[in-house]
Structure 1
Amino acid sequence: MNNTTPQAYWFVGATWAGDDQSERFITDGIWENGYDTKYTDHVKSMQVGERIAIKASYTRKNGLPFENNDRAVSVMGIKAIGEITANPGNGHAVHVTWNRVDPVREWYFYTYMAALWKVVPGSSWYADALIAFTFEGQEQDYDRFRNEPFWKDRYGDTGNDPDPRSKPEISLWPINKQSKGLPASNGYQEGYREAVNFCQAGVDRDEFVENLRNGDYFNKYTPLSCRSIFSNLKRLGLIEHQDNGLWYPSAAGDAFLEEEAPDSLTQRIIESAFGFAHILRYTHEHPNIERNALFEKLKNLYPQWTTNYAPSAVLAWSKGLGLINDNEGEIIPDPLWSILAFRPSRRIARTSPPFDTRQNRR
Structure 2
Amino acid sequence: MWKADQLLNRLYEEAVEAHRAAAEAESREGRRQQLKSALASAVGSFEPSLGYEPVVLERVQCDGYMRERVELSATSGLSFAAYVLIPEGAKSQQLPGVLAVHGHGYGSREIVGLLPDGTEDHGKPNIHQHFAVQLVKRGMVVIAPDVVGFGERRLDADLQENPDAPSSCYRLSTQLMMLGKTLTGLRTAEVLEALNYLADRPEVDAARIGAMGFSGGALISYVAAALDERIKAVVLTGFTNTFKESIFAVHHCIDNYTPGLLAHAELPELIGLIAPRPLFLESGQNDPIFPVEGFKKAAAELQAIYEREGASGQLQCDIFPGVHEISGRVSYNWLRQTLSME
What TM-score bracket applies, with the shorter chain setting the length? under 0.3
Task: Return the TM-score normalized by structure 1.
Answer: 0.24
Which one has the bigger helix percentage? 2
Higher RCO, 1 vs 2 (CA within 8 Å, ≥6 residues apart) = 2
Task: Return the TM-score normalized by structure 2.
Answer: 0.25
When Rg is computed on C-alpha atoms for both structures, the one with the higher figure is: 1
